[in-house]
Structure 1
Amino acid sequence: MFSHVFPLHKILHLWDKLLLGDASFPLFVGLAILRQLRDTLLASGFNECILLFSDLPEVDMERCVNDSIEMYCSTPRSVTYRQHEYQPPPQSKSSEVNADLEMTPIPVSELQSEFCPRISAANLLELLDLQHIKYSRPKVIVVDIRSSEEYNRGAVPNSVNIPFSTVNISERILPTSPETAHLQNNKGKVIAIVGSRGPSMPQFAEVLVKSSFPRVCTLHRGIQVLRSANILVVPGAM
């Protein structure tokens, strides 16, 4: 893995991590390399980029390993879902999860039309940690883009409502509101876009990504899947 562009003494730094990580870890190694070369790549033409990738002697491998581990640990597992990846069986019946909350295969053409990854409902519920079992602070901000009327009939606890209709999609402009300010103040956290199935979630997510929000994802299968988890509440009761 990566041995066609790195000398052996640098590959040694990667081997242990590749063996200990799951099948998604090489992706994060590649992203860590791109992060280091970002400025050079943006300033280069296509042919220069191809030549650069044929030999990578200047990559700081220790930094690459550290960056890839940081990204791997902070990325929800469902974001790197692959249809044919081996999934170990549950350790016990108590660890089994409602199949409706898990990821399902997505056509490549549909993925290519979207600007950010999807997160499963099971992964979202884990990050929400509504019982405060794992985290002392929320790890994710849920943005509900349905209309105010729909939102007020039942929403994810502690979510914020920014209706899709209030966003200038063509100009990529978010409305001025306390909810938008809340997002700006929490740019480092995972932001999960929740709404009805259709084009509105990926379109809203694209606005956030192009507004320099670093960790944006959309809820796979939309908010309807959360009804089976029985977590939606009336906002006034949150």
Structure 2
Amino acid sequence: MSAFIPKYLYNFFLKDNSHVIQEYLTVFSQMIAFHDPELSNHLNEIGFIPDLYAIPWFLTMFTHVFPLHKIFHLWDTLLLGNSSFPFCIGVAILQQLRDRLLANGFNECILLFSDLPEIDIERCVRESINLFCWTPKSATYRQHAQPPKPTSDGNGFGKTTAFYSSDYQDLSNTDLSREPLKLSELKAEVSPRISAEDLIDLCELTGPAHFKTPVKRPKAVKTKIVAVDIRSNEDFSRGHIPGSINVPYSSVFGPDGELLQCPSTNTLASYKSRVVVILSNVTKNAAAFAAHLVKVNFPRVCVLDGGINKMKPTGLLTVPSPQI
């Protein structure tokens, strides 16, 4: 327990733990929006926020929710994962109750969680691992998590995925790491941010900084991620991430956030099965664009922390060859 609590519940039991808990619940909200935007939209519309039901889940690592024989099974898996795995368990529980949650309003949801229905723990474990494998490791970054360790043992579910290779909290900070945000700023964003180092790793970008044209390493399987650059065509042409697509903000959403029918919309729709990373030269624009996508039930949307400016020093941006 002396190892378990710092890993999964670091500073949860301070006399004033409000900042720690609020950050945790906010990241959990972003995970719901990331994996199930339709459910996230509905729960937000009726005001059924995680503060009303999820605090006992995370304070007790679900022992408040499940009988002991189910906890044995759940913790067997939890202990293999890193400190962010509980978010995936929480989302998996919500998804088992999805149909009932979507069909009900605030009062009915409160009653539903006051006497939680039977949860298939085997399905919960299986689905939480799948959610875990689809989540970029820096998306669950928390400022109040356990401090980085000198070395990392590489926690994660083996080599089942290119996404989670280690616990993000154990990684050393670099200029390409996630930047801490004020709680108010974190709460204002619907979608999680990911780090530039995560994007480089997941897009498999290579090429020393002095190369003018970086190359992508060959892949044996179809990539799970796509970078969507929402800057203007002119800015995009001056330098962009190799393999990224240019979808200018104004070409997809109208002034009220409504989705416009246009080629850019169709291009975005074709990537709906992947993780979509929104990037811009202004992070607020990227966050707003991501929020609009979530509003129209677009899954697995995240934002590049620091935007295109974080990528410029890497030498990984490419410029299209001039037409002859």
TM-score norm. by structure 2 comes to 0.66
> Aligned with 1:143: secondary structure?
strand
Match of 1:127 in 2: 202
Does residue 207 of structure 1 match 2:207?
A: no
Match of 1:32 in 2: 92
Distance 2:75 2:321 in 1: 52
Does residue 48 of structure 1 match 2:108?
A: yes
> Aligned with 1:103: secondary structure?
coil
Q: Call closer, same or farther: CA 1:228–1:143 in 2, change over 3 Å.
A: same
Q: Call closer, same or farther: CA 1:16–1:68 in 2, change over 3 Å.
A: same
Contact 1:194 1:201 in 2 (8 A): yes
Residues 56-111 of structure 1: CA deviation (Å, up to 9, x unaligned): 341111111111000011100110001132333356xxxx8771210121111111
1:148 equivalent among 233, 244, 258: 233
1:88 equivalent among 138, 143, 149: 149
Match of 2:178 in 1: 103
Q: Call closer, same or farther: CA 1:22–1:135 in 2, change over 3 Å.
A: farther
Contact 1:3 1:11 in 2 (8 A): yes
Match of 2:63 in 1: 3
Distance 2:304 2:115 in 1: 39
Q: Call closer, same or farther: CA 1:118–1:231 in 2, change over 3 Å.
A: same
Moved more, 151-160 or 51-60: 51-60
Q: Which amino acid aligns with 2:226?
A: I
Distance 1:199 1:57 in 2: 40
Q: Call closer, same or farther: CA 1:55–1:121 in 2, change over 3 Å.
A: same
Match of 1:219 in 2: 304
Does residue 118 of structure 1 match 2:179?
A: no
> Aligned with 2:104: secondary structure?
coil
Distance 1:120 1:193 in 2: 12
> Aligned with 1:33: secondary structure?
helix
Structure 1 residue runs of 4+, over 6 Å off?
A: none
Distance 2:80 2:90 in 1: 17
1:134 Cα deviation (Å)? 6.6
> Aligned with 2:175: secondary structure?
helix
Match of 1:20 in 2: 80
Q: Which amino acid aligns with 2:256?
A: S
Distance 1:135 1:127 in 2: 14
- Residues 148-187 of structure 1 aligned to structure 2 (within 5 Å): 148-166=233-251, 167-174=253-260, 176-177=262-263, 179-187=264-272
- Unpaired segments ≥5 residues, structure 2: 1-60, 153-170, 206-215
Match of 2:124 in 1: 64
1:139 Cα deviation (Å)? 2.3
Contact 1:146 1:164 in 2 (8 A): yes
Give RMSD over aligned pairs: 2.1
Q: Which amino acid aligns with 2:317?
A: L
TM-score norm. by structure 1 comes to 0.89
Residues 182-211 of structure 1: CA deviation (Å, up to 9, x unaligned): 321221100000101242111111221122
Distance 1:231 1:124 in 2: 11
Distance 1:127 1:183 in 2: 19
